[in-house]
Amino acid sequence: MTTTAPTDLRRRVTDLVGRVRAGDVPSVARALTLVENREAVSAQILHELWSDTGRAWRIGITGPPGAGKSTLVAALIAHFRQEGRTVGVIAVDPTSPFTGGALLGDRVRMGVAHGDPGVFIRSMASRGDLGGLCAAAQEACDVLDAAGKDVILIETVGVGQTEVEVVDAADSIAVVLHPESGDSVQAMKAGLMEIADVYAVNKADRPGADRLEQEILASLGLRPHGDGDWMPPVVRCVAATGEGVAALAAALGSHRERQQATGGTETRRARRVEQRIRLLVEAALRERFFGNAAAAARLAGLVAEVRAGRTTPYAAAVEVLGDASEVRSQHGREP
């Protein structure tokens, strides 16, 4: 049994990966569940799928709560489908306090796409991640990419200035604002406003849209531009009616073309890979140093030593890191 079980596992992974590559919807959903739940087999699935990633255009949709991001995503889905493109959506919902899962509000609001085989929508729980993106969201994008989706829309949970992790996940980013949010630009200040490749003024048929647009245009002279001479345009739209959605998609398309022409896309994707490697290494080290009962007991002992004044947190950390050679010897023989 011990010799056949790994072979059987590899066979099942190979079968699932093949079905994902073929775009089989239940298999894509299964792979996403394994990835989101951080099942042990998920790393092997992502490893196998990696060579099939990098083809999809990943668009981040971010902004404060109430800006109409989900409605705008639904409108963009309809636009891209009219162009004949397949669409994947990762909608990061707030975590349910009862189940730990996503509240699924975004999927309800995007009901227009239900039944369309060219659209796959997945809600994922933020699980307390204040950056707006759950830890598995980028890996979920990889699954949809490998499944052949042309465009992947990443909608973040909507928590304001800290919602900047989308930079590491997307090729193009639309920051969605609305005129009823008060002094929006000043409230968000640097973090969120600096990551936009395109600004979308949603609900532009309501009072205050002109003022908001002027505030954004005024702020553009104060923000750094990491993409050379690209100046983020401001696009007015009304997602509920579809007005301005084609113009928003066109502006995002212009950014993508500019990035491809100047090498910006490769720069962003290289940064994404670097960040992914760093996160994987950090997660592995946390698991190795603190992920078992013996390590937890030792940590508790070190905490007691520090509290008693017999050592300091800095010396304790050095002691923990001193186990690195032992950890390497324990794991070096693993296949």
What is the domain count for the chain? 3
50 pairs with which residues across the strands?
none
- Answer whether residue 267 is part of any domain: no
- Answer whether residue 251 is part of any domain: yes
- Are 48 and 186 part of one and the same domain? no
- Are 32 and 78 part of one and the same domain? no
Strand ranges (E), the chain: 57-62, 87-93, 119-125, 151-155, 172-177, 198-201, 234-236
- Are 70 and 31 part of one and the same domain? no
- Answer whether residue 268 is part of any domain: no
- Answer whether residue 269 is part of any domain: no
Burial of 137 (0-12, 13-18, 19+ CB in 10 A): buried
Q: Which of 111, 162, 105 is nearest to 133 (CA)?
A: 162
- Answer whether residue 28 is part of any domain: yes
What's the pLDDT tens digit per position in 10-63? 899 999 999 999 999 999 999 999 998 888 899 999 999 999 999 999 999 988
- Are 76 and 139 part of one and the same domain? yes
- Answer whether residue 308 is part of any domain: yes
- Are 185 and 110 part of one and the same domain? yes
- Are 219 and 127 part of one and the same domain? yes
Q: Give the CA angle between residues 104, 105, 108 to the nearest 5°.
A: 95
- Are 147 and 236 part of one and the same domain? yes
Please give the distance of CA 60 from its chain centroid, rounded to a whole number: 8
The reported pTM is 0.83
Domain span at residue 166 reads 54-262
pLDDT given at position 130: 46
- Are 31 and 120 part of one and the same domain? no
- Are 64 and 95 part of one and the same domain? yes
Determine which helix (DSSP H) or strand (DSSP E) holds 219, and give its type and residue range. Answer: helix 209-220
What is the side-by-side order of every strand in the sheet holding 151-155?
119-125, 87-93, 151-155, 57-62, 172-177, 198-201, 234-236
Q: Which of 223, 202, 221 is nearest to 212 (CA)?
A: 202
- Are 69 and 154 part of one and the same domain? yes
Torsion of CA 65, 215, 78, 80, to 10 degrees: -120
User: Would you tell me how many other CB atoms lie within 10 Å of the CB of residue 123?
Assistant: 20
Assess contact for 178 and 66: CB atoms under 8 A.
yes
154 pairs with which residues across the strands?
60, 90
- Are 134 and 223 part of one and the same domain? yes
End-to-end CA, the chain: 18
Last residue of a domain, one of 262, 283, 299: 262
- Are 38 and 72 part of one and the same domain? no
Region 135-162: mean pLDDT is 84
pLDDT given at position 287: 82
Last residue of a domain, one of 231, 262, 293: 262
What's the pLDDT tens digit per position in 263-284? 999 999 998 898 888 888 888 8
- Indicate whether 143 pLDDT > 70: yes
**pLDDT band per the 50, 70, 90 thresholds, residue 183:** low
Last residue of a domain, one of 209, 241, 262: 262
